[in-house]
Every structure is written in structure tokens, then in C-alpha cells.
Amino acid sequence: MKLTRRLLLILLLIIGVSACEQTDLDLQENPNAVLPDKADPNFLLNSVLLKFNSFHISLWSSTSGITRMRAMTSDTYRSELTPPSFNGIWYNAYASLLPDINALIPLAESRGLAIHAGIAKILKAMTAMTLVDLFGDVPYDEALQGANILSPRPESGASIYAKALTLLDEAIAQLDGTKAVKPAVDFYYGGNPALWINLANTLKLRAYLQTRLVDSDAGAKFKAILDGGKIIDLQSEDFQFPYGNTRVNPNSRHPFYNDSYENLDGTYQSNWYMWQMAEAKGLRDPRIRFYFYRQAEQYDLTDPTLYSCIHSLVPDSNATPSFYSNVEAKMPYCVATYDGYYGRDHGNGQGIPPDGPFRTVYGLYPAGGRFDDNSFNRTRGQGTQGARGEGINPILLATFVDFMRAEAALTMNTGENARALLESGIRKSFAKVLSFVPKGDFSRQIGTDANGNPIYADALIPKQADINNYVNAILARYDAAANDTERLDVIVREYLIALWGNALEAYNTMRRTCLPTRLQPNINGINEPFPRSFFYPSDHVNRNANAQQKPDLNQPVFWDKNGPGCLY
């Protein structure tokens, strides 16, 4: 009997192992995974739209410090832009976003979903060009091949740009006149194919402007797109991602809001950038109350434990280093202004004093924070203040396009009026910022008039006269410029202000134009050239046998022919 039971047990084990060999071991598909041909195109597109925004907004941390839009709190560019710091960008693109796009395109096309496919191609093109703009030559055709190509080789940036333009043309053809079913969710354009076509054409404009130094026909190509008329030129056509105001499950708020209105002190803002808006032009930019919120109007200028000024114990304009004054006589030092705009100078990587309560933080636009109504309150409040993070990621706005066209008019013979486009760009920027007024709280009483009637914070909202005064002052500077280089400097300086929240376009513009002049130098006196491209991520170099790290940050991308030394 025991022998029989043993034989039966052995037989059952053999049958079980055989079954495993014929099922589990020969199984080629993961039973827990959704196969591409079985995926829901709407769910996949939803993933692509969200991941694209995550990819784009993640670029702020790498590009905002070097462009002086946010304080660079490292001593040098090399310590600010280390190879490991780019692992997240690389992962967001190659491991998260692009695989979903590549899965969506054939799936959507096989089901006649032209809008889904067109959107995917546009976002793939923009992602590819952005990777080139940041890193130069990167894997493209050989990327995302799985086990077939474990170490994809880099492809030239020029080749990738050309393929991205082809993708945009394919997308336009698919979207033009289509009667295909709209996506269930489209955070950007509500599934409107005409608006996506405008974006595709505007991305082509952007590419031709970007390559104007290496393509003698770029101006003609740029003008041809303008003549077609289907570009982003109205605020209603802006390409932006809208954030929500929920704190958990999920946290849908703008990352800037999470930075400044939760439980930590906000990141240091750029003294130079705030000074540009507050004092550098001789008049205060009315947008500054939307961009920044001052937590304090006055601070103890005699307490050395509160500051990290490098050349003095406390903020003291008399301690401004000579290499600052040689660039611009009134260059800010240690603080942007003495009425509450407090950040850090470029390259100040010293330790952090207890200055959290009076750091200037992100404001209402585009972060969804607080409008600066002179209340001077602490913003560290567990996400309960201001618009509670209901901001936007300004990816490609109509105001940006006007500035691009103004640059092209001066440099590419497009036949447009650069001065008129400069004015239009500034006015559209004001309109965009003022569109956030409904999100703000302007009910606080800030004083009384001569008759004793209360004055509320809405009195601080820019009036048309304020906007006109600012625009006229900038146009006067433009008219006083001696040549096109000086005129372009005015355009680029105003473009940097209108770009608030998007430092990628600032980084591209600065390399392309070698402007603006009179940037704040490194506070340590370190004279190093402006980064021409980023190091490859350490994960990519360490895991890809065909990847080779750059020797330094002075390696230009293919469209940048200015060389090192034109910026610092």
C-alpha cells in the first residue's frame, strides 16, 4: 500500500511538472499584462498626455537655474548639472513616455482613430526635438527595441529633427478634416484636431527658428508656415497643461505650489530675475505681484545669522563685488530689492540659514499660489492658501510665438514687423497673467481712500494704463537701440519675463541668440562658459555600451554655431 501511494505521488508530480513545462515555461505572454492590441486607446492616450506633461515640467529644475529664472544654488555649472541629475528626464522620456507613444500610434491607426494617432505623433516629435535640444545626439531609431538592441547607438541631432518634422507633417495630414472619434479625454485641446494642427505648425516654426544658424532656407520655411495661418496666435490656442487643486488621491496641484505652500521652505528665487521685474528698467513690472509672493516686507538687516551673502555678513549694497558692478552698475547683491524680494544670487551654494519665513516664493501665476497683496504672510500652510495649486504648465503660448516671430523678423528676413510683434507679445503676456485673476483672492482690505472708503486688494490688479505705461517704456528702449543686436536684446529680455514657468525655451533662446546681455555673473567670481548642452545621464552611460560621456558642458548641439564664450 505504501509503495502504491509513493508511485501515485511520483506520477502526480511528473504530471504537474509536465503541465508547468507546457504552460508556464512555454508562455510567451504575461497573463497579467495588457497586450498592445488589446489596450484601450483612450486609456493609453490619457497616459501619454499625462506623461508628456511630467516630462516637460521636469525640465524646469535643470534649465531654470542656469538661465537665472530660478536661483542656481550650486557653485558652478558643472556641480549644478551633474550626470545623475538627468536620470529622471531620461527615464521620463525613454522608459515612460515614448514606449506608450510607440504603442499608441499603430493601435490608433489600425482602428481609424486619426486624432489619437495625430496627437501621439506631435508629442513624439516635440519630445524628440527636446531631447536633442538638451543633450545633442541621442538614441532614436535604435531606441526602445527591447532585447533586440540592448545598447542603442546615438543618432545625429539633425537627423532626429528631420524625422520629427516628418512626424509633424504626418500628424497634420491625419488631423486635417478628419471625422474620426474624439478622444474621451484630452487635457490640452479637448480633442479638437484644428488646435492640434496649430500646435504642429507652431512646432515647425519653432524648429526652423532653432535651426536658423545652420539652415540658410530656414527663413523661407518659417515664412511659409506663417503664410498658412494655422499657428498658435490666440490665447484660446495656448498649449498648456491645467493643474487641479486636490492635495491627495491624487495630488493634482502645480509642482511650484507643492514647493512653496506645503510643509517646507520654498526654493530660492533668482535675485537677478526678480530685480529685472522690480527695478532694473526704472519701472516696476505689473506682473511681478502675480509671479512672486513676498512673505515679508522688512527683514532684520543687522542679523548675520539670517543671510548667506558671501561677500558680507548681511545684505549691503556697498559690498557688491566689482565684477558685478562692471556688468551692470546697479546689479543686485544678496537681496533683489529692499522691499521684500529676497532670493539668492547666481552661484550661491553656501549653507542655508533660517531664512524660510522671508524668502520670496512662487505666486499666483502660473503656480496657483497667492497674489501678492502686501499681506506678507507665511505660505508654509499645508496647501490651504491661494488658488491651492490650480495653475498651468505654460508649454507653448501665443505670447511665446509672438516673441519667436519678432526674433525671426530681425534675423531671418520674414517680412514681419519685429517692433509690433514685441508689443503684441508683451500685451498677450499681460492678458495671460490677468486671466488668473478669477483664481485669486482680492477681498482683503489694504487701506482707505480720502473719504474713508475701504480699498481692497483688487486695486493692485494692473489697469490698462499700467500696462500701457510698461509697454511704452519697453518700446522706447527698442526705438533707442542702435542696431538689430541691441533691438534683439530688448526682445529676448522681455521674452524671458513672458516665459516665466518655462525655462526650456529660455535655455534654447539664450544659446541661439547669445542674449540677453548683462546677466548676473557667478557670485563667487568663477568665470565659466554657459553650458552648450547637458551631460548624458549617468544611468544611460553606465548601462549602454555605445554611450560615451561628454568631456564637459561646452559641447554644442547641432543647431548652435555660436560656440563657447558668448554667454557666461
Mean predicted confidence (pLDDT) in 407-421: 98
The pLDDT confidence band at residue 20, using thresholds 50, 70 and 90, is: very low
pLDDT at residue 390 greater than cutoff 60:
yes
Q: How far apart are CA 406 and CA 418, in angstroms?
A: 4
List C-alpha distances in Å: 30 to 42, 66, 402, 549: 22, 45, 50, 36
Q: Is 555 helix (H, G, I), strand (E, B) or coil?
A: coil
Domain ranges of the chain: 37-227, 255-446+454-522
Q: How far apart are CA 324 and CA 320, in angstroms?
A: 7
Q: Is 262 helix (H, G, I), strand (E, B) or coil?
A: coil
pLDDT > 70: percent of the chain = 93
pLDDT tens digits for range 257-307:
999 999 999 999 999 999 999 999 999 999 999 999 999 998 899 999 999
Q: How far apart are CA 223 and CA 501, in angstroms?
A: 28
Q: With contact defined as beta carbons under 8 Å apart, do 341 and 275 qualify?
A: yes
Mean predicted confidence (pLDDT) in 228-246: 97
pLDDT tens digits for range 301-343:
999 999 999 999 999 999 999 999 999 999 999 999 999 999 9
Mean predicted confidence (pLDDT) in 441-467: 96
Res 35: pLDDT: 58
Strand-pairing partners, residue 454, are: 448
Q: How far apart are CA 98 and CA 54, in angstroms?
A: 12
Instruction: Report pTM.
Output: 0.93
Mean predicted confidence (pLDDT) in 528-542: 97
Q: How far apart are CA 78 and CA 534, in angstroms?
A: 10
Q: With contact defined as beta carbons under 8 Å apart, do 408 and 209 qualify?
A: yes
- Backbone phi, then psi, for 341, in 5-degree steps? -85, 100
pLDDT at residue 2 greater than cutoff 70:
no
Res 549: pLDDT: 98
| CA atoms 153, 158, 159, 164: torsion sign | positive
Res 370: pLDDT: 98
Q: What is the second-level CATH architecture of the domain 37-227?
A: Alpha Horseshoe (1.25)
The pLDDT confidence band at residue 564, using thresholds 50, 70 and 90, is: confident
Mean predicted confidence (pLDDT) in 523-528: 94
Q: CB 472: neighbour CB atoms within 10 A?
A: 12
Q: How far apart are CA 443 and CA 445, in angstroms?
A: 6
pLDDT tens digits for range 178-198:
999 999 999 999 999 999 999
Domain 37-227 matches domain 255-446+454-522 at the CATH topology level:
no
pLDDT tens digits for range 242-256:
999 999 999 999 999
For 79-147, the DSSP string reads HHS-GGGGHHHHIIIIIIIHHHHHHHHHHHHHTT-HHHHHHHHHHHHHHHHHHHHHHSSEE-TTTT-GG
Res 261: pLDDT: 98
The pLDDT confidence band at residue 37, using thresholds 50, 70 and 90, is: low
* Closest to 346 measured CA to CA, from 513, 492, 530: 530
Burial class (CB in 10 A: 0-12, 13-18, 19+), 116: buried
Give the position of cell 514606449: 99
Mention every residue, 6+ apart, whose C-beta is less than 8 A from residue 455.
Answer: 445, 446, 447, 448, 449
Res 565: pLDDT: 82
Q: Is 242 helix (H, G, I), strand (E, B) or coil?
A: strand
* Cis bond before residue 250 (omega within 30° of 0): yes
Q: How far apart are CA 107 and CA 103, in angstroms?
A: 7
pLDDT at residue 426 greater than cutoff 60:
yes
98 HSE (CA, 13 A, CB side): 23
Q: How far apart are CA 235 and CA 428, in angstroms?
A: 8
Burial class (CB in 10 A: 0-12, 13-18, 19+), 111: middle
Res 23: pLDDT: 38
Give the position of cell 535640444: 133
The pLDDT confidence band at residue 108, using thresholds 50, 70 and 90, is: very high
Mean predicted confidence (pLDDT) in 422-430: 98
Q: With contact defined as beta carbons under 8 Å apart, do 201 and 228 qualify?
A: yes
Q: With contact defined as beta carbons under 8 Å apart, do 42 and 181 qualify?
A: no
Res 5: pLDDT: 45
The pLDDT confidence band at residue 89, using thresholds 50, 70 and 90, is: very high
Q: How far apart are CA 550 and CA 536, in angstroms?
A: 7
Alpha carbon 102 to its chain centroid, in Å, reads: 24
DSSP 306: G
Strands 361-362 and 392-396: unpaired
Question: Mean pLDDT across the chain, nearest whole number?
Answer: 93
pLDDT tens digits for range 483-507:
999 999 999 999 999 999 999 999 9
* Closest to 402 measured CA to CA, from 190, 209, 162, 217: 209
The more confidently predicted of residues 23 and 284 is 284
Q: How far apart are CA 474 and CA 292, in angstroms?
A: 21
* Closest to 226 measured CA to CA, from 428, 490, 402, 394: 402
Mean predicted confidence (pLDDT) in 38-42: 88
Fold observed for domain 255-446+454-522: Four Helix Bundle (Hemerythrin (Met), subunit A) (1.20.120)
Show the cell assigned to 471: 509697454
